[in-house]
Amino acid sequence: MNFQTSATTLRQQSKAFLSDMANDPRWALTDMDFQTRWTEIQKEIEATGTYTHSEKELTFGAQWAWRNSNRCIGRHMWRSLKVHDARSAQENKDIVHALGQHMETAWNDGQIQSLITIFAPRHPRRLMEPDPVRIGNGQLIRYAGFKQSDGSVQGDPASVALTQHMLDQGWRPENRHAFVPLPWSIWTEDEEHPPEDVFAKCPQWLHEVELTHPEWPGFAELALKWYAIPAISEMALVIGGITYPCAPFNGWYMGTEIGARNLADEDRYNVLPAVAKCIGLDTSSPRNLWKDRALVELNRAVLHSFDDAGITMGDHHELGAQFEKFCKVEARGGRAVTGDWSWLNPPISGPSTPQFHRAFDGRVSPHTNYFYQSSAAEDAKARKRGAKNGSTPSADPYDLEHHHATPRCPFGHG
């Protein structure tokens, strides 16, 4: 639920953000530029309770938020984030169009581009005012999970609740199988629109990779695949104290996200037993380390398949080495490297990556960052309860203990 930000806090956070921007050589803000803009912001806050970011501030803010994201191992690439300004899109058709542009631009013929599309902000002082735009999906692309009569799940168990909600809202998928992309749940002014089955209407926005193995031809018979663009759509972007509750963003996958989590986890697709059988492993005892061996071969298949398809994907050794360089640059500049150790280490081969042997400053930058927030449905219900009871919502939507950014971050999607 959104909460009241005092004018004092908003001024403090906006000034801290503007100072960070002034110190970045790419933007070349002189002392006079800073003072002029700071005066404008203060006057606007005094008059309206909020302020409006310029195009340059929006771009820098989204990039700076990525840089501040403690759980993201790919944030050394923060300057490369492209920003689409969709603050004027508030009609359903315009929102779908903006999201479609996002999918097309991010795809870039397989050379995935890091991209964020930013919709209208939340007013920091108006507690009962609905958010202009929200998305009910955790990611713009995610596979459905269909609950079967015997209690099993066809597809992704993590999507069962949203899948059922979409079905209840009128979604009628043409086919049901393990990899059906969910429709979009778009909200405006606390009202949910009918499901937008965009990938049925616009299949060109969906790019998937069928998984094969470089040494085991039979691996293809498992009929596994995954989508190419991980685009987080549930998190709030905060820039200088202003919250953008709808700001979907993507980077590109790190292989272990798919191979060691999405497909391997027992509460997700749980394919390790099938992989082990495919490559002839003895599964009679866990001391055979068959799960470990199957896990490595599954991750090899993921990397091999994305490479074979010509689609951008990182691996945990490559990204770990790049992040280590970022840490050393920060250290030479006298800056503490903030981070969440448990998230910066990959789900396999952690001790073989540099970040395993580092300690990180766990402080969170509050004025410009990406944060978890309560869902659009939860917020709408809370506002309706507040209006009925005459109470004022006050819960802080930002989970500072478990926050992470662009993931979640562009490398941390699940």
Cα 30–Cα 35–Cα 39 angle in degrees, nearest 5 = 150
Instruction: Determine the Cα–Cα distance for residues 57 and 163; give it in Å rounded to an integer.
Output: 37
Question: What pLDDT sits at residue 385?
Answer: 84
- What is the per-residue pLDDT for 28? 80
Q: Note the pTM of the prediction, 2 decimals.
A: 0.92
Q: What is the pLDDT of residues 387-402, one digit of tens each?
A: 777 655 443 444 433 3
Contact 85, 237 (CB under 8 A): no
Instruction: Give the pair of three-digit tokens for residue 299.
Output: 């991750």
Of 67, 71, 75, 268, which one is the catalytic site residue? 75
- Whether residue 351 is predicted with pLDDT greater than 90 in this model: the reply is yes
As a whole number of angstroms, the longest Cα–Cα distance in the chain is 72
CB 135 within 8 A of CB 184: yes
Q: Residue 356 is which amino acid?
A: F
Span 307-328, pLDDT tens digits: 999 999 999 999 999 999 999 9
Is the model more confident about 359 or about 249? 249
> What average pLDDT does range 189-203 have in this prediction?
96
Q: With bands split at pLDDT 50, 70 and 90, how would you rate the model's confidence at 334? A: confident
| Over residues 42-62, mean pLDDT | 97
**138 or 27: whose pLDDT is higher?**
138
Tell me what pLDDT residue 4 has: 54
Of the chain, the percentage scoring pLDDT greater than 70 comes to: 93
Q: Does the annotation count 196 as an active-site position?
A: no
At residue 388, the pLDDT reads 72
- Mean pLDDT of all residues in the chain? 91
- Given a cut of 50, whether residue 78 has pLDDT beyond it is yes
**What average pLDDT score do residues 121-125 get?**
89
pLDDT at 394: 43
Q: Compute the radius of gyration of the chain from its Cα atoms.
A: 22
391: alpha, beta or left? (left if phi > 0; alpha if psi -120 to 50): beta
Spacing of C-alpha 246 from chain mean position: 11
> What does the pLDDT read at residue 410?
42
Residue with more model confidence, 362 or 83: 83
Which of 57, 196, 257, 297 is catalytic? The answer is: 257
The per-residue pLDDT for 391 is 57
At 37 the pLDDT is: 97
Q: How confident is the model at residue 361 (pLDDT cuts 50, 70, 90)?
A: confident
The mean pLDDT value for 125-148 works out to 93
Which of 72, 246, 278, 409 is the catalytic position? 72
What would the two tokens of residue 185 be? 């749940």
- Quick check: 126 pLDDT over 80? no
Q: What is the mean pLDDT of residues 210-238?
A: 97
Whether 66 is catalytic is: no
- Average pLDDT over every residue of 282-308: 97
CA of 396: how far to CAs of 5, 334, 345, in Å?
10, 33, 29
Phi and psi (nearest 5°) for 297?
-70, -35
Active site residue 75: yes
Nearest to 178 by CA among 141, 205, 146, 218: 146
Distance CA 391, CA 407 (A): 33
- Residue from 252, 278, 290, 297 carrying the catalytic annotation: 252
The 10s digit of each residue's pLDDT in 250-287 is 999 999 999 999 999 999 999 999 999 999 999 999 99
Confidence tier at 362 by pLDDT (50, 70, 90)? confident
For 113-133, b where at least 16 C-beta lie within 10 A, e where not — what string? Answer: bbbbbbbbbbbbbebeebbbb
